[in-house]
Amino acid sequence: MNAGLVCALLALAAPRDVHTLSNLEAVRPVHLSLDLALDFEARRIRGTNELTLSYAAEAAPAFLDLDTRELTIRRVTDAASGQALGFALGVPVEYLGQRLRIDLAGQRPAKVRIEYETSPGASALQWLEPRQTSGRLPFLLTQSQAIHARSFVPCADSPGARVSYDATVRVPAGMQVVMSADHGTHEPERGIFRFHLDQAIPPYLIALAAGEIAFQALGPRTGVYAEPALLEAAASEFRDVEKMVEIAERLYGRYRWGRWDTIVLPPSFPYGGMENPRLTFATPTLIAGDRSLVNVMAHELAHSWSGNLVTNATWSDFWLNEGFTSYIENRIIEELSGADLAAMERILAQQELRREVAQLERTRPADTALVLDLEGRDPDEGTTAVAYQKGANLLFLLERHFGRDRFDAFLRGYFDRHAFTSMTTPRFLEILKRDLFQDDARTWSELRVEEWVYRPGIPSNLDVPESRAYRDAKAAAQAFAGTGALPEAAARWVTAEWLLFLNELPGRLAAAQMQALDARFALTRSGNSEILSAWLEKAIRADYTAAYPALEAFLTRMGRRKFLRPLYTALDEHPRTRELARRIYSRARPAYHPIAVATVDMILKWTPRGPGQGDGSTGSRVSRAPSTWAGSPPFPPPGGPPSSTGTTRSSATLRRDARHLLRTPRV
Ligand code: BES
Ligand code: ZN
């Protein structure tokens, strides 16, 4: 047997997750029972986690090892007898946190109970003051993917170690709590909320939000939560979601999670969306007024099959989550809004992929393969357009070759047969070869599947979709760049056409050209966050100062990393705008999520209170602009940044954690 084959067999037998310090091969939690009290003053969760354990062998392992990060462990007991168990926290390991080693004393306890407390800097938690929300109460939101769950729940924090869970959450009376779980009996007047999720999920899908939260039903099994000020706009934007579930079910089989609700979070939420089961977490920047950004909702729904039902077993297999999901997202959009829009979105995604691959080729070429080597690295380094769009394009290629009927049937069967399990890439390829290729080795090599998966770069058999709208947008961009002819058809363009047009313009326009477009189409006042972000990036490069008040308003009103990264990067590139970047950031930083802070600190090489930092009070070129983004709450409030930076981790920690984020421009 050759060495390659031996390695492949080993990988199939026991995928090793290099991002867990747990000993899940010997003993693993299968159910977590949480009792959590949220202390908004101290910015801490205090509580207990009772873990039900499953043992691999008859003999008791010496220890139960779990993942933690910045947790204080008060006490560990055998839940049945109440007997105290010895425990110790290991030294902090870069990116991974600390191993909690519990001495099982030669026993095989069915359940252990851990009393613990989180730290104010917990990477999964963002504690918001009322002024960072649109309501009157403080707010807590969690974001656990990829390996942040360990900072609020001691667990085996590996996507291959599935658990069911239940939770009792205690909050000040008057607050609501939602989780990625089914609702149990709540006692809101006493501030007690109960949840349970009976399906087994990876720990990164445990999620919680607490604050002033209202609900509106959208369909029989869909609805939207939001702060009251945003509820109506959110409900109107997302009114198609029930239809999306029906479409996805027709394509990929029954929706297995009961309800699909969405919570629109305060604007500091650093992602577009997060697929927490039964409850997608979403940024308010999706609210464009015309439902043109609901592809993100289609994406998060798609994870109900790819990601939540069949989960990447390790973060090196991340493309199994995001590549499949981006493919399914596009199929849902095609059914919902037509083939023209789906093709435009595919082209935008391919443009993004090419940009990303070109950049990674300069910095980390190996990361342009689908399977990543993340040993010694933060798994968030894998969140590039490669996993999403190279992954999706492999599936588009298979679809084109085998035809939709066969490919859809394959995917349906795959999700069904492997539901509630975690999947490695080698195992997936084995299933693909057997079930779709019928073991036809010739076709397998003709389609170059292994090249797609294991080799860097974009294979030449990428399928580029036909799109008349794209050709028109490109021609319009060329005409404008050449002769200054305004794209008159643009009055009827949808968001995707605008983005295609803006992408096809030269990298740097003259300020006068920007002015001409703006005078005709009012792009600086766009209420569409995607168009506005693309436009503002161009404005910075063109030194089109008329857009700077809108730029400042945008950057201080939301904290979505996808928009912060390109805008601060463009501002930092030129000496002319560098000071402006720092001034805006000094106002905005206290309200950004730790993940966003880490990203922007890196871009601006920011050291808070260090030498040479502007405090935002001098050199102002830009007045505070009125809101141009419909329905947005002030963020942060007029009058300057909140003084507290209590949730933000130390700058050194943030910078260390964020080094890679500069290279990972996906979300
Ligand atoms: N699961 C991801 C977000 C994520 C990935 C968080 C990795 C942390 C680590 C989510 O489904 C996602 O991809 N969101 C995108 C949506 C888009 C691709 C349509 C986003 O936030 O922009
Ligand atoms: Zn995703």
**CA–centroid distance for 565 within its chain:** 15
What whole-number distance in Å separates Cα of residue 278 and Cα of residue 434?
33
What whole-number distance in Å separates Cα of residue 611 and Cα of residue 582?
13
Helices (H), 436-510: 441-447, 449-454, 468-483, 495-504
Q: How far is the CA of 273 from the centre of ligand 2 (A)?
A: 8
Which residue in the block uniquely carries the two structure tokens 């899908």?
205
Q: How far is the CA of 647 from the centre of ligand 1 (A)?
A: 23
Name the residue type at position 307: G
Structure tokens that stand for 90 in this block: 């290991």
Whether residue 424 contacts residue 11, with contact meaning beta carbons closer than 8 Å, is answered with yes
pLDDT of residue 469: 97
pLDDT of residue 609: 65
Which atom of ligand 1 is closest in space to residue 325's alpha carbon?
A: 11
Which parts of the chain sit beneath pLDDT 70? 1-14, 609-667
Structure tokens that stand for 569 in this block: 């990067």
Whether residue 379 contacts residue 318, with contact meaning beta carbons closer than 8 Å, is answered with yes
Calculated CA dihedral for residues 276, 282, 283, 287, nearest 10 degrees: 170
What whole-number distance in Å separates Cα of residue 82 and Cα of residue 74?
14
What whole-number distance in Å separates Cα of residue 347 and Cα of residue 435?
29
pLDDT of residue 624: 28
Report CA torsion sign: 568, 569, 570, 572.
Answer: positive
Which atom of ligand 1 is closest in space to residue 321's alpha carbon?
A: 1
What whole-number distance in Å separates Cα of residue 587 and Cα of residue 50?
42
In angstroms, the Cα distances linking 509 to 354, 441, 521, 548 are 22, 51, 16, 16
**What's the predicted TM-score (pTM) here?**
0.92
Structure tokens that stand for 378 in this block: 């933060």
DSSP reduced 3-state for 169 = strand
Beta strands per DSSP E along 234-322: 260-264, 273-274, 279-282, 310-312
Structure tokens that stand for 54 in this block: 């499953």
**Ligand 1 pocket: which residues have CB below 6 Å?**
145-146, 271-275, 295-296, 299-300, 303, 322, 380, 383, 388, 562, 667
How many CB atoms lie under 10 A from the CB of residue 184? 12
Nearest to 303 by CA among 262, 347, 350: 262
Catalytic residues: 300, 388
What whole-number distance in Å separates Cα of residue 213 and Cα of residue 180?
15
pLDDT of residue 663: 37
User: What are residue 491's phi and psi, to 5 degrees?
Assistant: -55, -25
pLDDT of residue 595: 87
Nearest to 131 by CA among 634, 643, 655: 634
Q: How far is the CA of 481 from the centre of ligand 1 (A)?
A: 34
Per-residue burial over 414-425, b if 16 or more Cβ lie within 10 Å, else e, is bbeebeeebbbb
Residue whose CA is at the smallest distance from ligand 1 atom 6: 145
pLDDT of residue 260: 98
Residue whose CA is at the smallest distance from ligand 1 atom 17: 296
Helices (H), 179-317: 228-237, 241-252, 295-302
Ligand sitting nearest the alpha carbon of 298: 1
Which distant-in-sequence residues (6+ apart) come within 8 Å of 255 by Cβ? 221, 245, 248, 249, 304
Structure tokens that stand for 306 in this block: 């790819």
What whole-number distance in Å separates Cα of residue 234 and Cα of residue 518?
28
Rg of the chain (C-alpha set): 25
Nearest to 276 by CA among 369, 182, 211: 182
Residue from 274, 314, 348 whose mutation best tests the ligand 1 pocket (most atoms within 8 A of CB):
274
Q: How far is the CA of 388 from the centre of ligand 2 (A)?
A: 8
